[in-house]
Amino acid sequence: MPPLAAAPTKLGYSPTEQSTTDRTPWSIRDSTSPDARESKLIGQSPVMQKLFSVIGRVAPNDSSVLITGATGTGKELVARAIHDQSPRRDGKFVDVNCSAIPETLIEAELFGHQRGSFTGALANNCGLFEKASGGTLFLDEIDALNLSAQAKLLRVLQERTVRRIGARTNIAIDVRVISATNCDLAQEVAAGRFRPDLYYRLRVLPLHLPELCTRGNDVELLIDHFLRLKAEHEGVARRQFTDEAMRALMEYPWPGNVRELENAVAYAMAIGADEQLGLADLPAEITNNRIQSSTSDFRDVLQAYMNETVPLAEIEKRYILSVLQQFGGNQVRAAAALGIDRSKLYRRLKQYGVMAVKFLQEEQNGMQLRTWSTKA
Ligand SMILES: Nc1ncnc2c1ncn2[C@@H]1O[C@H](COP(=O)(O)OP(=O)(O)OP(=O)(O)O)[C@@H](O)[C@H]1O
Ligand SMILES: [Mg+2]
């Protein structure tokens, strides 16, 4: 096992170890939590109706589920829906964002550790598997697990026991595992980055979420849903989009899927001053409806700077961000495509984090940074 840099604490690590996303690395929800069973999956399209019926069938089964789909398609919401419809609904739902936990701490977080098992391990700590006992463990962005953690996870799933780091005995666990990824895990297996035996153990019940642009009228339903939801949360009167704005929303291809749509509604509600929300209240990419591939965006950026001297670091930053966008925010795949290791990509993104948002605001016509940089 590699040396551990710091001891895990209840909600994470020293600030320098934090992931580039804003998400908490893990959260625990039980049936008494305020948001319990609040999440509602919206969709009337045939593809979503079929998905709802599959969810109904897989929920009572205790086998592992692997949810795949592009960013923002609702993988986490579906995982919660499966838990809420399962016999484990009164147990905990432990949501772990594997990519937000530093590689050196992931095993201690998942499996726990004994006091003194590494520098800073001041007390015995039960891992997330133990915390989820009786409920569901949701391993989000499972593709981010390194090979060592994959091997240990496989053993836990096979033996249904965990051994805390530094401990001599195994502890029986009763957990259903649901995992999710927005990358092609079969391709990760073929590339040798993901264990095939673990892959097959995780995808006993595979579920794929379709992209929003294939869901037809669901866009209209979701717009309506978010307008109502946000008005309720903010305690304000419900507003509507003008016909012209609705047309722009319906024509937009939604590369960031439901999350992007939710953000667009929130943006319009914050920007719009009138009772009706118009075209001018929508984010620029929707009004322009100019979706270009990140590669052509990058070429535009290069073209625009042809006659200027641009620092090499700036070119590197823009290229890294464009590749990351190309892979839907998947850092593991972006790092592989860039030919650098993931920790180097992390460091770069950490360095760019704040500037990326600023860049987006300042250069609306430049490369578009989407939901992956402002992930809720
Ligand atoms: N069918 C749906 N009905 C209502 N809300 C939805 C639906 N699908 C997604 N959402 C909402 O969209 C947002 C993004 O969903 P979620 O976080 O589940 O996506 P994801 O697939 O896990 O994305 P990522 O891969 O980026 O983590 C959430 O706020 C979620 O509540
Ligand atoms: Mg997710």
Determine whether the shortest distance from the Cβ of 328 to ligand 1 is under 6 A. no
Could you list the pLDDT tens digit for every one of the 376 residues in the chain? 333 233 332 333 332 233 334 446 767 776 555 554 456 899 999 999 999 999 999 999 999 999 999 999 999 999 999 999 999 999 999 999 999 988 888 899 999 988 877 777 777 888 999 999 999 999 999 999 999 999 999 999 999 999 999 889 999 999 999 999 999 999 999 999 999 999 999 999 999 999 998 888 899 999 999 999 999 999 999 999 999 999 999 988 899 999 999 999 999 999 999 999 999 999 988 987 633 434 445 565 566 566 566 677 777 877 787 777 666 667 777 788 888 888 888 788 777 753 333 333 333 333 333 333 333 2
**CA 254 – ligand 1 centroid, Å:** 13
Nearest atom in ligand 1 to the alpha carbon of residue 372 is: 26
Q: Which two tokens stand for residue 233?
A: 């949360």
Residue 122 Cα to ligand 2 middle (Å): 32
- The pLDDT of residue 208: 95
Residue with tokens 């969709």: 43
- Rounded Cα distance between 203 and 200, Å, is 5
Residues 177, 83 contacting (CB under 8 angstroms): no
Amino acid at 345: L
Three-state SS for 202? Answer: helix
Closest ligand 1 atom to residue 79 Cα is: 18
Identity of the residue numbered 276: Q
Q: Tell me how far the alpha carbon of residue 74 lies from the centroid of ligand 2, in angstroms.
A: 7
Q: DSSP state, 177? A: E
Taking the C-alpha atoms of residue 39 and residue 78, their distance in angstroms, rounded to an integer, is 9
76 touches ligand 1 (CB under 6 Å): yes
Atom of ligand 1 nearest to the CA of 41: 3
Q: Which amino acid is at 53?
A: S
**What confidence score (pLDDT) does residue 302 get?**
64
The dihedral through the CA atoms of 327, 293, 260, 258 has a sign that is: negative
The pLDDT of residue 306: 63
- What is the atom index within ligand 1 of the atom nearest the CA of 70? 25
Residues around ion ligand 2, judged by CB within 5 A, are 75-76
CA of 328 to the centre of ligand 1 (A): 14
Which pLDDT belongs to residue 68? 96
User: Which ligand ends up closest to the CA of 211?
Assistant: 1
Question: What DSSP string runs through 34-74?
Answer: TTTTT------SHHHHHHHHHHHHHSSS-S-EEEEESTTSS
